[in-house]
Amino acid sequence: MRQLPFLKKKEELEEQVRSNNGVFSVIVRKEFTDFIKSWRIIILLVIIALTCLGSLYTAFTTIKDAISQSEDATGIAKDSYLFLKLFTTSDGTLPPFITFVSFLGPLLGIALGFDAINSERNKGTLTRLMAQPVPRDYVINAKFVAALLVSTILFFSLGLLVMSLGILLIGIPPTLEEFLRVLCFLVLCIAYIAFWLNLGILFSVRFKQAATSALSSIAVWIFFSLFYNMIIDFIGKSYVNPESISSTEEMINKQETILNLLRLSPNYLFSESTSTLLSPSVRTLGPLTMEQTVGAIAGPLPFGQSLLLIWPRLTGLIAATLICFAVSYVLFMRQEIRTN
């Protein structure tokens, strides 16, 4: 029987796709092994694990004190999302879990990404890699996937570990809603880390020296975590001047503008989203007038509503991540492979 030509073509294509997938997973596996073997990442992982356990401990002692004060505390605990407090409270000696994550997450992302391309280039392995039958974008994609895999595994195991320890220590199992909230929080963390990871990769494509790209990534991180808020505060003080504002509407508008400016910072987006997810009592992220709050019954927001509230932030974060990745992808594809 004669085989139709297009059928054969399709089979060949499938064959090619299969072998390419194999090659892709080979690179991912190698990058992943490199990450978990490198001292840089091991040290960061240990620091993150230790601080998280430390903050868990302080949260636990605070909660335990609160529970032991009243008899029907267990009942109250269920209503007030006590389990989530594991992640957000502290007795003041150590910052809570979410603060640690928002601080160390970017550092992990940067550490995973800052020398992705330029170290290969400087060691001369990029030319050798490119001389193999591997599409060029596999290199950058595989590095991204491997780094994302490292942070996903780390954060999910850490989050689940904290949950299980919480159950053991407090003795109150989380409700389904609490569990889902924590899972969403972990996904959010990964999106946040992915942003910094991609920023690192972008700088690693752009800058020839690993030190330059590390320093610029850290500079961006420090800018957003320290100076950006200060600058916006400064602008806000003169912009939202109570003396020049005549109506409530104007006041709200100006306040909104300032908030939107703040939201350009990925750090702010992340902290807004985490507090919404882990503190269900947060009902809105914008300004509220007294009129709006009068008559409102203080109560937790349902999970779906919380999710709805953070949805734009999450998509914004992912969009920023994708933009960084797209820019580095295009830069890398157009770059000369040769080193000199």
Partner 1 sequence: MSETIITIEELTKIYDDKPAVDRLSLSINKGEVFGLLGPNGAGKSTTIFMLLGLIEPTSGSLQVCGINSTNNPIEVKKLVGYLPDDLGFYQNMSGLENLIYTASLNSIPRKEAETRARRLLEQVGLENAMDKKVGKYSRGMKQRLGLADVLIKEPEIIILDEPTLGIDPKGVQELLKLIKKLNKENNITVLLSSHHLHQVQQICDRVGIFVDGQLLAQGNVEDLAHQLFGEQSYVISVEVKPLHEGLLHELQNIFGVKSIKRVNDSSIDIYCNKEITPEISETIVEQHASLYSINNKSYGLDEIYHLYFEGREIDETTTIP
Which residues lie near partner 1 (CB under 8 A)? 19, 22-23, 26-27, 30, 34, 37, 123-125, 127-135, 336-340
Is the CB of 308 or the CB of 330 nearer to partner 1?
330
State which H helix or E strand residue 34 sits in.
helix 5-37
Is the CB of 5 or the CB of 133 nearer to partner 1?
133
Please answer whether residues 100 and 55 qualify as being in contact, where contact means their C-beta atoms are separated by less than 8 angstroms: yes
Is the CB of 135 or the CB of 173 nearer to partner 1?
135
Is the CB of 31 or the CB of 178 nearer to partner 1?
31
Is the CB of 38 or the CB of 293 nearer to partner 1?
38
Whole-number minimum distance, CB 156 to partner 1, in Å?
27
- Which contacts (CB < 8 Å, 24+ apart) does range 121-129 have? 121/208, 121/339, 122/208, 122/209, 122/210, 122/339, 124/339, 126/337, 126/339, 127/337, 127/338, 127/339
Is the CB of 8 or the CB of 64 nearer to partner 1?
8
| Nearest by Cα to 91 from 59, 56, 135 | 59
Whole-number minimum distance, CB 216 to partner 1, in Å?
24
Is the CB of 15 or the CB of 65 nearer to partner 1?
15
Is the CB of 16 or the CB of 281 nearer to partner 1?
16
Whole-number minimum distance, CB 23 to partner 1, in Å?
6
Q: b/e map of 225-240 (b: 16 or more CB within 10 Å)?
A: beebeeebeeebeeeb
Amino acid making up residue 12: E
Torsion of CA 312, 317, 319, 320, to 10 degrees: 140
Q: Is the dihedral of CA 304, 308, 314, 315 positive or negative?
A: positive
Is the CB of 20 or the CB of 102 nearer to partner 1?
20
Whole-number minimum distance, CB 209 to partner 1, in Å?
16
CB 256: neighbour CB atoms within 10 A?
A: 12
Whole-number minimum distance, CB 46 to partner 1, in Å?
19
For the chain, helix (H) and strand (E) counts, in that order, are 15, 0
CB 24: neighbour CB atoms within 10 A?
A: 18
- Taking the C-alpha atoms of residue 16 and residue 21, their distance in angstroms, rounded to an integer, is 9
All residues at 6 or more sequence positions from 287 whose CB lies less than 8 Å from its CB, including other chains: 252, 255, 256, 259
Whole-number minimum distance, CB 281 to partner 1, in Å?
50
- Taking the C-alpha atoms of residue 88 and residue 196, their distance in angstroms, rounded to an integer, is 23
* Residue-by-residue DSSP string for 305-335: HHHHHHHHHHHHHHHHHHHHHHHHHHHHHHS
Whole-number minimum distance, CB 337 to partner 1, in Å?
5
Whole-number minimum distance, CB 232 to partner 1, in Å?
43
Whole-number minimum distance, CB 205 to partner 1, in Å?
16
Please answer whether residues 332 and 117 qualify as being in contact, where contact means their C-beta atoms are separated by less than 8 angstroms: yes
